[in-house]
């Protein structure tokens, strides 16, 4: 089956190379027009199914693949591992409509290595007219694509570096705070792009202490997706996990996920705390957002709050992290090399709120030491 090429003129080396994989010719054409209008992007391939994408991947050599879920011959979920096997550094952006089945498939794809997802409107007509969807698609491709393009640029710069380069000013170093000695009474996690994969790794390492304190998670996701995420976390950890419910008392050993379309806050209640769901406007364009959870935890738990900022776009969580630090609590951020996007953790780190900035696989061991009272 032939590949639909060419789709655009050659672009500068710095342009993000995109492959569009969708069985709908209208969608492929629309995405191609949108992305070709962006000065920093070029569509290098347009495929009708996963089989075409896998067969032509190495020849086309894209930076980012926009991958539809439902396609004939080979769907997106079947194609994903084959694409990543050929190109482990490939950025894959899943495109699907909002149904429970597609939410389950999309989260499965995220755990298998897809970087992020975009929610397509229900019909091709709505796809054509939705400016919000267009903006989200372009921005996610841009943010994800920059990472791989910057790696390529860094390699080229390293080859060409001269002695004069060493004298160029560098970014100010991140200033870390000392760890609080107060034992954590609650664990909070904020995440976005790349979060489901990072959560999967983190949960495995937290097994020794998950029963000792409540875990509250704000992951940037819409309704239905957060329901499925909570179910996945429950199966993975063998601990109770569900979307947080208005007014429920938070208990050790339970995982609470902020429901899509609501902000999750914590409010003191006697010696403990309860869930408060906030239907206010989006914060940092997100609902749920991380800042409301972290800020309310700082007020409710003070120095006994322990927060983790995982991979994600933007700066959500930086303000809440600063409040936790000001209250005497601890904040740990994922480091840049292991983050899909170092927006959120980078913002928290540069705000001076963090006691540690760690690779993903070192975060859980540090949390375990903090919870068990060992030297952090």
Q: What is the pLDDT of residue 98?
A: 80
Residue 18 to residues 28, 53, 268: CA-CA distances in angstroms?
A: 12, 12, 48
Q: Which residue is it, tokens 């696989």? A: 361
Q: Which two tokens stand for residue 239?
A: 């601990």
Catalytic residues: 192, 220, 316
Q: What is the pLDDT of residue 152?
A: 59
> What is the chain's pLDDT, residue by residue, as a tens digit (376 residues)?
445 554 444 455 689 999 999 999 999 999 999 999 999 999 999 999 999 999 999 999 999 999 999 999 999 999 999 999 999 999 999 998 888 898 999 999 998 999 999 998 877 778 787 898 999 999 999 999 987 766 655 555 545 554 445 444 566 789 999 999 899 999 999 999 999 999 999 999 999 999 999 999 999 999 999 999 999 999 999 999 999 999 999 999 999 999 999 999 999 998 889 999 999 999 999 999 999 999 999 999 999 999 999 999 999 999 999 999 999 999 999 999 999 999 999 999 999 999 999 999 999 999 999 999 887 6
Q: Which domains does the chain have, with CATH numbers?
A: 16-153 (3.40.50.2300), 186-372 (3.40.50.180)
Burial-class residue 60 by CB neighbours within 10 Å (0-12, 13-18, 19+). Answer: middle
Q: What is the pLDDT of residue 178?
A: 96
Q: What is the pLDDT of residue 151?
A: 61
Peptide bond into 6 cis (omega under 30): yes
**Secondary structure class of 194 (helix, strand, coil):** coil
Supply the pTM of this predicted model.
Answer: 0.89
The string of DSSP codes covering 265-329 is EEEEETTEEEEEEE----BTTBSS-HHHHHHHHHHHHGGGEEEEE-SBSS-TTHHHHHHHHHTT-
Q: Which residue is it, tokens 């609470």? A: 256
- Asked if 266 and 216 touch (Cβ cutoff 8 Å), the reply is yes
Q: What is the pLDDT of residue 160?
A: 52
Q: Which two tokens stand for residue 60?
A: 């086309």
């Amino acid at each position: 089956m032939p590949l639909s090429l060419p789709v655009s003129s050659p672009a500068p080396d710095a342009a993000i190379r995109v492959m569009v994989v969708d069985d709908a010719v209208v969608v492929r054409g629309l995405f191609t027009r949108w992305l070709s209008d962006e000065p920093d992007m070029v569509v290098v391939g347009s495929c009708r199914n996963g089989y075409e994408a896998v067969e032509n991947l190495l020849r086309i050599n894209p930076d980012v693949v926009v991958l539809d879920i439902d396609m004939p011959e080979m769907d997106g979920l079947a194609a994903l591992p084959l694409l990543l096997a050929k190109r482990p550094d490939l950025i894959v952006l899943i495109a699907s409509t909002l149904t429970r089945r597609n939410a389950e498939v999309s989260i499965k794809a995220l755990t298998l290595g897809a970087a992020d997802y975009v929610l397509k409107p229900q019909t091709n007509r709505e796809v054509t007219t939705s400016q919000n969807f267009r903006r989200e698609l372009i921005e996610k491709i841009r943010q994800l694509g920059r990472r791989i393009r910057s790696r390529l640029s860094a390699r080229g710069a390293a080859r060409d570096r001269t002695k004069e380069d060493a004298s160029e000013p560098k970014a100010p170093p991140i200033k870390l705070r000392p760890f609080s000695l107060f034992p954590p009474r609650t664990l909070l996690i904020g995440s976005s792009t790349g979060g489901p994969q990072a959560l999967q790794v983190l949960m495995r390492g937290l097994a020794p202490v998950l029963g000792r304190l409540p875990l509250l998670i704000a992951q940037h996701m819409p309704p239905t997706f957060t329901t499925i995420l909570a179910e996945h976390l429950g199966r993975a950890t063998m601990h109770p996990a569900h979307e947080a419910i208005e007014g429920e008392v938070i208990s050790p050993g339970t995982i609470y996920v902020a429901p899509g379309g609501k902000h999750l806050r914590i409010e003191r209640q006697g010696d403990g705390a309860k869930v408060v769901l906030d239907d206010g406007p989006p914060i940092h364009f997100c609902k749920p957002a991380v800042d409301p959870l972290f800020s309310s935890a700082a007020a409710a738990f003070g120095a006994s709050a322990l927060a983790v900022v995982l991979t994600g776009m933007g700066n959500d969580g930086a303000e809440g992290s600063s409040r936790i630090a000001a209250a005497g609590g601890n904040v740990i951020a994922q480091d840049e090399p292991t983050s899909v996007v170092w927006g959120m953790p980078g913002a928290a780190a540069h705000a001076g709120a963090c006691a540690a900035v760690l690779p993903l696989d070192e975060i859980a061991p540090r949390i375990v030491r903090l919870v068990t009272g060992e030297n952090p």
